[in-house]
Chain A
């Protein structure tokens, strides 16, 4: 149905011309799914957007190639003809549905508009079709929700609305760009299921762009692996997963988190004890119980996994342990000290002993400070080093987290995401803390980088004898790292158990649902 041949796209900037996409071939057949896999910057999105004329030209330029779609070459069409095809025969689903919906317009109106204006359906006919579509993509109570504004939907429901919009004109090809990356695992599983249901029912072709091999493992028929603008390997699913040829594909496969942690030596006395902790806050005159009556212990030397979907309160919980978010009531004991009611001076000395690593290494480093300034700050603040001795310690930390010493005077924007996360880890470890909260510390990273950072954290945790609260929505990652797991839902603990026990004999329905939603289970 779609046949792309020798597609080459280049971008010209002040530094020169780079080939973002270099001689790429792939095809999509009706009723099947082709997945393009690659890390950020691999050219996977550019190649798809290029087909539809959605890259700005200049600086972009399609140098050569053809893209036959139902006997028309998309690359030879003028803007107007391309616009006709786009949206009618080829529809797109994007990563972030919130930015693609008009926030000031009711969802129903947004669905009905094209039906009404472009297809000449009467108002009532358009409404009926919109309701049908909403039902088809699994939106509950379409009669009521058709009058909702986008913000009234959850992320997963918004993505369903986007899919419904994509289906309005009955396209024969659906391009889905990381359609589930912004979603929770359980929702991701539902959306992937929905996409394959629609495909079966309507016999359409799907071209899916993803950075995550595990996500496409269950639904892709053909897999294209891209690296630095080139296709390094392509083949059907079985071939890619069972007989990967290219070293990069093997590396990607090896990066899918699997296996589990060898239990660390855990002392029986807890370092952190949480009792009846509540963290509530007011939002629009409603009390949001982000964390509600939670009690658990974290033992010395243990990695405790905290898992839950977005909105489960796991980040708030992690932050309130460090007194970054005020707790409403309850008790947090850190090595015998009550954290919540501590005076500022005592808190400062406690802060040296507990640190946090954030999810987004682009936001967690001060863009105006060099690596040296960032890493030296905790050393000087807690008087662990003098100004003259700090430099040596900073360089040692850089060694430990795997950053070249020569980078010491560089600024965050000069580093990649993985390197920045290493700086953030270095900053957290600089004051030699006993306890670290890692809040989705690897979720924003490409899979291969994610694997490296996880390895680094494992090694350092052992070396330093760290106690860690590892917060993640990704159970596969938790399994690799955690000794025990706490499952959080709507601010309350649903289940806590040893990692092995939790994975093999989950006691609660919610835990079972989470386990079933792990992408690429078939691979484990």
Chain B
């Protein structure tokens, strides 16, 4: 905001916002930082995969076949002689993208839905939340299977389908947050200033409700990634020639006895990612916890 004009008028001390405090607390939490570092690394690799992957993604070497890890192929090769590391890197692009994009979809719908329902209350709230209840009650596997069958297998659809399932919980959390915030006197003060409901939600309610939402988001990403892995494993998600960690694991299980590394490495990478996200989520929860905040 008009910080320049303030600086011109007074030598103001910089305050320490709750976000900054939370960041300081997070930066003292080693597991969370490690998780954050691992995730950043994975995301960077995923983005840069086409340039840094050691081999061409589609390049087969049928003569070579499946080989265990070696100097040429650090993580070995699959039955078609394709480099597993390259496969995992390309699979990571899809898995991470599903994780983050589907979560973003869930976040967007869930937060606005929950905020509006919670703030408006009354009949609007009742109608909006009953809809959530109904969607909750639908067996989501059937829902996704139906989507896949009707519209064909489609990556975008997969993002949307998973996001459409995950936003329900997000909306409920947001609504509960907003309902308790609505009782707060600073919101009442904003009403008495004459702010419109949307301005109040945007300026006063959402920033204060974000803590639990951020935490839940970091926990949603792994569950979405697991969901994708699960769907791909069942043959409902990502299909060859595209690949994802879930699909790699699915193929790995088929040849588990002969070529265990084909299951081990994709599983390991997925596990590391999930660990990292959970550590980060726990760290964020502690960092954003009001009780941990000073006063």
Interface of A with B (CB < 8 Å)?
319, 322, 324, 344, 347-349, 351-352, 354-356, 358-360, 363-373, 376-378, 381-382, 387-388, 390-392, 394-395, 405-411, 413-414, 424, 427, 431
Contacts and interface: CB of A to CB of B under 8 A. Distances in A.
B194 A406 contact: no
B13 A409 contact: yes
Contact of B194 (A351, A372, A388): A351
Contacts of A344: 196
A376 B1 CA distance: 10
B146 interface: no
B44 to A, nearest CB: 31
Given A368-B207, A382-B194, A395 B9 contact: yes
Contact of B6 (A382, A409, A427): A409
Nearest to B187: A366
B155 interface: no
Contacts of A359: 185
B256 interface: no
Nearest to B15: A410
A359 B184 CA distance: 12
Interface in B1-38: 1-3, 5-6, 8-19
Interface of B: 1-3, 5-6, 8-19, 184-186, 188-196, 203-204, 207-208, 293-295
Contacts of B5: 388, 391-392
B191 A378 contact: no
Contacts of B191: 324
Contact of B208 (A324, A356, A368): A368
B15 A414 contact: yes
A348 B189 contact: no
Contacts of A406: 10-13
A366 to B, nearest CB: 5
Contacts of A427: 189, 193
Contacts of B203: 366, 369, 377
A360 B188 CA distance: 12
A392 B293 contact: no
A413 B294 contact: yes
A31 B121 CA distance: 56
Contact of B12 (A364, A381, A409): A409
B193 A381 contact: yes
Given A408-B6, A409-B6, A356 B12 contact: no
Contacts of B14: 409
Nearest to B205: A366
Contact of B193 (A351, A395, A414): A351
